Structures are given as C-alpha cells and as structure tokens.
Amino acid sequence: MLLTRRSLALAKQAKDSFLSLRDLQARVLSTDYYDPPFSPLSKPPKPKKKKTHPDQSSDPLNNPPAPVTSDLPFDFRYSYSETNPEIEPIGFREPKRFSPFGPGRLDRNWTGTCAPASQESDQSQWSEEREKVLGEPLNEEEVAELVERYRHSDCSRQINLGKGGVTHNMIDDIHNHWKKAEAVRIKCLGVPTLDMDNICYHLEEKSGGKIIYRNINILVLYRGRNYDPNNRPTIPLMLWKPYPPIYPRLVKNVADGLTFEETKEMRNRGLRTPALMKLTRNGVYVNVVGRVREEFQTEEIVRLDCTHVGMSDCKRIGVKLKDLVPCVPILFKDEQIILWRGKMN
C-alpha cells in the first residue's frame, strides 16, 4: 500500500515537470512577445506638433493699434479739481516722455502735467451738445424722485471722491454708471471738501451732467434726459498715476511784509495758540473755511490740529486755505498748520 502511494506521487511529479518543461519550450520557441498578466498598457506616442511661424500681421509689436482720438475740448489731467493750471512747476520727477496713457495710445502729447487738447476742438460746440443731452429741466417731482432713489447710503450707484478730487478716470466711471442708471451718487471725503463749489463745477463741466442734489459732502449727478450710452464721449484711461511735479515752496523763510524776527515770533506764538479745530484723516472739511474766516475777525494767528492727517494732506489743506480764506500759511510742523491773516489794510 505504501509503495503504491509513493509510485503515484512520483508519477504526478514527473507529469508536472514535463508540463513545465513543455510550457517553457513553447515560450522560448514562440516569436510573440510575452506579456505577463496585469502589466500596464503602453501609451500611444503623441503626434509631433508642426512648428508654425506666427503671423506677423497680428503681432502688436509690428502693427501697434492706432492711438485713441478724443473730441473733448479740455486738457487731460490726472486731477481737475486739485491742480491749478496757472501755476507752472519748477521741475519734474519723471521724464515728460512717459505718458500715463501709455506709449502711442493717445493722439495728444504729454507735457508732464497734462495732455493739451487740439486747437481744432470747439468749446461752444461741446456746450451745445451738452445742452441737447440734458434736455428740458427736471420738474420738482422728478427731482424728488431721483433724489430719493440715489441719495441714501445703500445706493449701489456710488462713487467715492477722495483726496485726488475729480480725477480723469473718474469721468469714465461716471459714464459707466450712467449706462444703467439715470444718476450717480458721489460721496466726497478729505481735502477736496474744503471747496465743494469747485468739485461741483468740474463734475458738471467734465462729465456733461447736472448736479440735482447737494447736502454737505453728498452729491447726486444726473445724466440728462437725452443721454445715449452708445454715443458717450471717448475717454482714454490713464494706466497709472503720474508723479506730481515740483512746485515752488508754499512757506517762505520770511513771510511777506514781516522781518525774520517777526516771522519767527509769529510761528512760536502760533504753536502756543489753542487749536481752533482738530481735523481727522479723510474727514469732511466743509465748515473749515468759514470757521477760519470768523476766527480771523478777532485773532491774528490760527492753528489747526491735523494729527494723524499726514503732512501731505496738511500741505494740501494749507494751499486751499491760502486762496479760499485768504490767509498766509507760515508754518507746517508736527502736523500742525499755522495761518496768519496778513496785514490789515
């Protein structure tokens, strides 16, 4: 019995070895590639892309776009309300050839402060077109309806006017709002609020609209009855803010009409004087001019506390007060403005 089992086991081993040798012989003699199970399939080769030469006709370097032509009759400036064209700068912080409109994008030359309008532009024609767009004046009911719709703080058609004043790109923003709205709400903050009349003038003059509501620092600018968004004026955008030019010093070492000792004594007395007002950064300065004029009726020197306002804004405030009050700024120190009313005639 034991011999029979051994003979069966040997026969089975011989059979298995024969099958394995036969399988190995078949693999060696076969010309087909042996692919073991679960092997990843080879990816097909990617077709090679043919190199195509770019079309030179569509190359912006070889064929730059034509410059934008605008028929607006005024000079293009970064800020219309915060610059005085009558004051000539004494220097520039960047070359005049660097136009903020971009190279070759405008048909006007940049002079360092503005892009002058062509001599062919007619101011009277612009005024006539503006009157046609405005149409008949609004009656009281129409004005009340528009004001009630746009004067609230939750109005979506709002533009914030900061220390830059009425800027060039803001005019384009106003026309963009006028595409879908009859009016736009303008909230004024900072230095420009010293002279709200100047802001209203430039907004109406440059945009062609009409101020129908004015309350402290809130304005509502109406587009007109016959306004057509498809026929809006062409306003090329400034790509960056140009560096401000260098102007003559605002505060002289010796004030006009005084000696050096008198000027020094005035400055020291002004620093010891109690502050008339304390101004905040990006605040509303609508009543500052009136308060300073009233104080000058009894006092010779006025001090304004501009802590945390910044020296740049302090100088802007001094420049505006010099013309609006009028007065003579004699000192800017530690964010304090010292104003002298000048000699009484």
> Which of 176, 183, 190, 161 lies closest to 80, judged by CA?
161
Per-domain residue ranges of the chain: 70-247, 260-340
pTM: 0.78
CB 178 within 8 A of CB 104: no
**What is the 3-state composition of the chain as percent helix, strand, coil, each rounded to the nearest 5?**
35, 15, 50
pLDDT (tens digit, 9 = 90+) per residue, 110-163? Answer: 999 999 988 777 778 888 888 999 989 999 999 999 999 999 888 889 999 999
Q: What's the CATH class of domain 260-340?
A: alpha beta
Would the pLDDT of 57 be above 50?
Answer: yes
Q: Which fold has domain 70-247?
A: Translation Initiation Factor IF3 (3.30.110)
pLDDT (tens digit, 9 = 90+) per residue, 199-242? Answer: 999 999 999 999 999 999 999 999 999 999 999 988 999 999 99
- What torsion, rounded to 10 degrees, do the Cα atoms 247, 250, 256, 261 define? -130
pLDDT (tens digit, 9 = 90+) per residue, 247-283? Answer: 998 888 888 888 999 999 999 999 999 999 999 999 9
Evaluate whether 70-247 and 260-340 have a shared fold.
yes
Q: How many CB atoms lie within 10 A of CB 111?
A: 13
pLDDT (tens digit, 9 = 90+) per residue, 1-41? Answer: 545 556 656 556 655 665 565 665 555 555 455 555 555 55
